[in-house]
Structure 1
Amino acid sequence: MTTPDVRARRIGTEGEPVVVIDHFVPDPHALRVFAATQDYGPAGRHYPGIAASLPDSYMRDQGALIATIAKQVFGMSAGLSLLEARFSIVTMAPSALSIEQRLPHVDAVEPGRLALIHYLVPDETGGTAFYRHRSTGFETIDASRRDPYFAALNRDLAKHGAPESYIAGDTPLFERITRIDGVYNRALLYRSSLLHSGEIADGTSLGSDPQTGRLTITGFFAG
């Protein structure tokens, strides 16, 4: 059995850590089989697609590794609590996206929050990109930056407009600082305050079938 391969790297001028974990689970195929049996509904939280429940074993089996990384890389030694974890599939056509869904975003501005994405598509269909907001220079948005960031962003949108599709690379508003490929059975762990977006390339299947669509697992944690 292949053991997880954990690598931490720092990105951008703010030097925030992003942890890449290859071979994250022993049997990703079993997760895909389980995903195909679930009932999916709107994901909410501005996610451009649908979501379904995970098997109970997922966090039981992966929780110890996530907690170890949270302590060793992110300095979260007081313990980690699960806020939410689910299967997710991007299904929304570019023409149906809201402005928020066409821009990089953060998952939370509160301190001590982490986000997980686990890629479950055997043929790579894009990964995750991290961004710098050009006019402020921000790569992370915490509570102290939230108001000035959105004020600047609204000025930028009034001047330049938003992308017409899923963001992919540099724009007048944002600079892509790094991109991490969505390799099968790879997971990423990063602070929820990092500006990021899924890389949804042209030609990506936007169907709702978990066997053929862009199936991932997303998780959110507090420490």
Structure 2
Amino acid sequence: MIGPTVIARRIGTEQQPIAIVDGFHPDPDALRGHAASLSFTAGRNHYPGIRAPLPDDYFRQVRVPLMAVLREVFGAARIDLLDASYAIVTTPPAQLESTQRLPHVDATEAGRIALVHYLSPEGGDGTAFFRHRTTGFERVDAGRAPDYYARLNAELVEHGPPPPAYIDRSTPLFERVATVEARYNRAVIYRSALLHSGAIAAGAPLSPDPATGRLTVTAFLATA
């Protein structure tokens, strides 16, 4: 069996590191079968879809490539798991909240890392990363957050809310600086403070069925 393949990249003008790992889990078909047996519930923290718990051994199965990436790409010596689950985007564009139509950051604290593991065999939509045009920020950490949100809120007051759609390309307020294509059993790992969004195209099917929907694992880690 061929093991995981890691590609490290730096994106945007700020040259922030991301890692792409193909062949991330040794048995992705088993994960899909497990997900199909579960009852999903509404996501938390503005997630536009549904979530369900992972198998107990998920992180044991991916420990080797994950630890290598966190150590070699992000310089982490200690890792703590904050949250992880299966996730499926299901919210129709017309029902998105205003914040769900914009790029977002998952955390502003130093050392926070996000992981998305794609589990749809068809591939489909991946993850896009953005630069806020007014500030030039591609990363919103605790020091930048007050300025960023003040300027963004002023822009939204002046220009109105974004249209009811997932953001998957450049807009008047944000420039897309990179996109990671979704492939079966691929993971993308990046700092939680990067501005990003699911790159979900207009008209994409948003089925809640794990067998046909945009099934992923999403996880959030604290590193030091």
Q: TM-score, normalised by structure 1?
A: 0.97
1:67: Cα distance to partner?
2.0
Structure 2 residue 129 is the aligned partner of structure 1 residue 133: no
Deviates more, 1:161-170 or 1:178-187: 161-170
Residue by residue, what CA displacement relative to the aligned partner does 1:26-67 show, whole Å, maximum 9, x if unpaired? 211111000001111111111100000000111111123212
Partner of 1:113: 112
Question: Percent of pairs identical after alignment?
Answer: 52
| Cα deviation, residue 115, structure 1 | 0.3
Instruction: Name the counterpart of 1:70.
Output: 70
Deviation of residue 68 (structure 1)? 2.1
Question: What's the counterpart of residue 212 of structure 2?
Answer: 212
CA distance in 1, matches of 2:94, 2:84: 28
CA distance in 2, matches of 1:209, 1:160: 37
Shift of 1:207: 1.5
Q: Write the distance in 2 (CA, Å) between the matches of 1:185 and 1:67.
A: 17
Task: Name 2:167's counterpart in structure 1.
Answer: 167
Aligned equivalents of 1:183 and 1:19: distance in 2? 14
* Distance of 1:191 and 1:211 partners within structure 2: 29
Deviation at 1:163, TM superposition (A): 2.9
Matches within 5 A, 1:27-38: 27-38=27-38
SS of equivalent to 2:221:
strand
The 8 Å contact of residues 7 and 19 in structure 1, kept in 2 or not, is answered as: yes
Instruction: State the secondary structure of the residue aligned to 2:65.
Output: helix
Whether the 8 Å contact between 1:131 and 1:139 is mirrored in structure 2 is yes
Give the drift of 1:219.
Answer: 0.5
Aligned to 1:221: 221
The unaligned stretches of length 5 or more in structure 1 are none
Q: What is aligned with 1:152? A: 151
1:118 Cα deviation from its structure 2 partner:
0.4
Q: Hey, what's the Cα distance between the residues in 2 that align with 1:142 and 1:50?
A: 27
Per-residue CA shift, 1:50-88, capped at 9, x if unaligned?
A: 0000001111111232122111111112x1011111000
Match of 2:88 in 1: 89
Secondary structure of the 1:13 match is: coil
Q: Answer yes or no: is the 8 Å Cα contact 1:125–1:201 preserved in 2.
A: no
Secondary structure class of the residue paired with 1:143: coil
| TM-score normalised by length of structure 2 | 0.97
- SS of the residue 2:82 aligns to: strand
Partner of 1:195: 195
2:25 alignment counterpart: 25
| Stretches of structure 2 lacking an aligned partner (at least 5 in a row) | none
Q: Distance in 1 between matches of 2:119 and 2:214?
A: 8
Q: What's the CA shift for 1:124?
A: 1.9
SS of corresponding position for 1:132: strand
**Equivalence for 2:182:** 182
Alpha-carbon distance, 1:164 to partner:
2.3
**Separation (CA, whole Å) in 2 of partners of 1:63 and 1:104:** 29
